Structure 1
Amino acid sequence: MNTNTPITPVSGYLTSSQLCERFLISTRTLFRWQSKKTNPLPEPTIRPSGTYNLWSADEIYEWEEREKALSKQRSKNH
């Protein structure tokens, strides 16, 4: 998945690997983001087996939009 490709609503599912590639992070960071107090990353929608998880693209899109808004707000406060 190209990191410049936008995630759009109703685009299915993304794997953990695709999310890591998109945000240029490790799987460890991906799961650490789920523990954030403010705007935690949503839980995987489907966990078929082992470490292979599927995330709702819709939920990730919504999370990413909230994260952008929070980032702008933090910038204004500093």
Structure 2
Amino acid sequence: MKLLFGLFGAALSMPVASIAGICSLEFGYVSSFRQALGVGVLVGSVLLLVASTLFLVGIPSTLRRLRTQTNSSN
């Protein structure tokens, strides 16, 4: 399940990052377009880091489950 959450988070990271940059500019948290891009890059980087961590943590349990299914089919 962690593997799927990691993939889902990675797929959502870019749209969420762009929305964060746009909202930061619209709500007045930043004063220029370059700062809004920086906010988007920062949010996107954090989301990709979390998504890749979840993906890597989910790999061992997925491999264990696949080995169990392969061994039971023999």
Normalised TM-score (structure 1)? 0.37
Higher helix share: 2
Of structures 1 and 2, the one scoring higher in RCO (CA 8 A, sep 6+) is: 2
Higher strand share: 1
* Greater Rg over alpha carbons, structure: 2
